[in-house]
């Protein structure tokens, strides 16, 4: 017990978490100043469950009817004929070429017929276009609401217009109720993404996105405990902006509005580069790395916080490269070939952008112009 107590006291030492000559009592919530309370970090977990329930209801009773009205398919047209022998082989998932030859001989089929049956069977297990449309619609709704709410909340805050206010008089920054809700809802959303990722459409960049969600949650927890909510709120509003158009482009693609999809994709690409590779590193990270040490004495937890911000930038750079590659292919082919930053793992063999990153949906679009060129 004494060992655990010593570990806990060492971990939560104000020398690690707070600037020099500052104690936890100095920023404890009281009747005069409503500082961030670390116990409130538990609230987003049940809120995430509520968000998942809300998402299920909205997808089923709102987005699904809209998708059907737009003519989006709920099932795939071609289905594999029932075959117990092939079904048993398919259940093993990893089928080698020798097994295909043995199955063809056993069924008196050609090798091509067995491979075609397996492709159709895999296709049956893929989520329908309507399912993917509903997922993207939910995320588009959230990012739009979060971005608008974030702007409304931050509009009258001095640190939106002068980022140095994130450090003036730090750590004595009382937490207003609007910022409290902004943080709680945002953390709840990322917790819900971390949970739903395991039963949503499977993406090729599953683990990159999982790291992104966990890093975001840890980053928000760090900023909350260390009373760095001002800089944290700026990070949130910058990140929500481009994602609105990412999800909207996918929705347009699934609804077969290709020209609309291409137009939104252009807007998304521009906004992504401006916010994630421009505003984020040259305004926020520059501020936390260069300006903050001039105003606030540094401490160990701050370096960890800044490292997490840098980790997000590395992920942004990775996705930016993939987005630009898709943009280049789209410009060359005449329309967007693939679902931006997203391929479901089952569709890899069917898309022209086999290595595109997966954020939220699968790549399944082929270019009419490229076909015309090949003809």
Q: Over the stretch 127-180, which tens digit does the pLDDT of each residue have?
A: 788 988 999 999 999 999 999 999 999 999 999 999 999 999 999 999 999 999
Q: Distance (Å, rounded) from C-alpha 274 to C-alpha 272?
A: 6
**Among 360, 355, 238, which residue's Cα sits nearest to residue 287?**
238
**Among 340, 275, 341, which residue's Cα sits nearest to residue 313?**
275
**Coil, helix or strand at residue 5:** helix
**Coil, helix or strand at residue 8:** helix
Q: What is the pLDDT of residue 165?
A: 96
Q: What is the pLDDT of residue 366?
A: 32
pTM of the shown model: 0.79
- 8 Å CB contact between 292 and 167: yes
Contacts of 185 (CB under 8 A, 6+ apart): 44, 47, 146
The residue whose two tokens read 């609401």 is 145
Point out the residues of the chain with pLDDT beneath 70. 1, 75-78, 80, 93, 124-125, 201-205, 333-375
Q: What is the pLDDT of residue 76?
A: 58
DSSP assignment of 281-312 equals IIIIIHIIIIIHHHHS---HHHHHHHHHHHHH
Instruction: Summarize the chain as % helix, strand, coil (round to 5).
Output: 70, 0, 25
Burial of 97 (0-12, 13-18, 19+ CB in 10 A): exposed
Q: What is the pLDDT of residue 75?
A: 65
Q: What is the pLDDT of residue 58?
A: 96
- 8 Å CB contact between 104 and 218: no
Q: What is the pLDDT of residue 1?
A: 64
Q: What is the pLDDT of residue 87?
A: 75
Encode pLDDT of 208-245 as tens digits: 777 778 878 988 998 999 999 999 999 999 999 999 99
Rounded (10°) CA dihedral 221, 222, 227, 231 = -100
Q: Looking at residue 108, what DSSP letter applies?
A: T
**171 cis-preceded (ω within 30 degrees of 0):** yes
- 8 Å CB contact between 121 and 90: yes
């Amino acid at each position: 017990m004494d060992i655990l107590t010593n570990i806990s006291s060492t971990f939560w030492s104000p020398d690690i978490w707070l600037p020099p000559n500052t104690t936890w009592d100095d920023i404890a919530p009281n009747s005069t100043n409503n500082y961030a309370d670390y116990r409130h970090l538990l609230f987003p977990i049940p809120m995430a469950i509520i968000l998942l329930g809300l998402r299920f209801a909205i997808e089923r009773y709102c987005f699904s009817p809209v998708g059907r009205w737009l003519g989006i398919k709920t099932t795939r047209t071609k289905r594999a004929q029932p075959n117990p022998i092939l079904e048993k082989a398919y259940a093993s998932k990893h089928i080698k070429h020798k097994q295909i030859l043995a199955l063809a001989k056993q069924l008196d089929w050609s090798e091509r017929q067995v491979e075609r049956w397996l492709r159709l069977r895999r296709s049956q297990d893929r989520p329908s276009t309507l399912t993917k449309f509903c997922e993207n619609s939910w995320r588009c709704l959230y990012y739009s609401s979060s971005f608008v709410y974030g702007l409304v909340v931050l509009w009258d805050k001095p640190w939106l217009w002068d980022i140095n206010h994130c450090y003036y008089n730090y750590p004595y920054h009382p937490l207003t109720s609007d910022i409290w809700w902004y943080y709680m809802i945002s953390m709840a959303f990322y917790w819900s993404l971390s949970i739903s990722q395991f039963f949503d459409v499977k993406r090729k960049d599953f683990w990159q996105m999982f790291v992104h969600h966990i890093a975001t949650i840890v980053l928000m927890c760090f900023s909350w405990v260390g009373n760095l909510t001002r800089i944290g709120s700026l990070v949130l509003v910058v990140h929500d902006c481009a994602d609105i158009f990412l999800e909207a482009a996918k929705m347009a693609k699934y609804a077969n509005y290709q020209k609309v999809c291409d137009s939104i994709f252009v807007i998304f690409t521009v906004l992504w580069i401006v916010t994630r590779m421009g505003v984020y590193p040259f305004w926020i990270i520059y501020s936390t790395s260069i300006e903050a040490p001039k105003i606030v004495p540094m401490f160990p937890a701050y370096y960890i916080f800044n490292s997490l911000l840098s980790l997000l930038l590395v992920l942004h750079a990775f996705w930016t490269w993939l987005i630009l590659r898709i943009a280049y292919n789209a410009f060359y082919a005449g329309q967007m070939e693939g679902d931006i930053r997203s391929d479901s793992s089952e569709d890899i063999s069917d898309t022209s952008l086999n290595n595109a990153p997966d954020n939220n949906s699968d790549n399944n679009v082929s270019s009419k112009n490229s076909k015309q060129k090949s003809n």
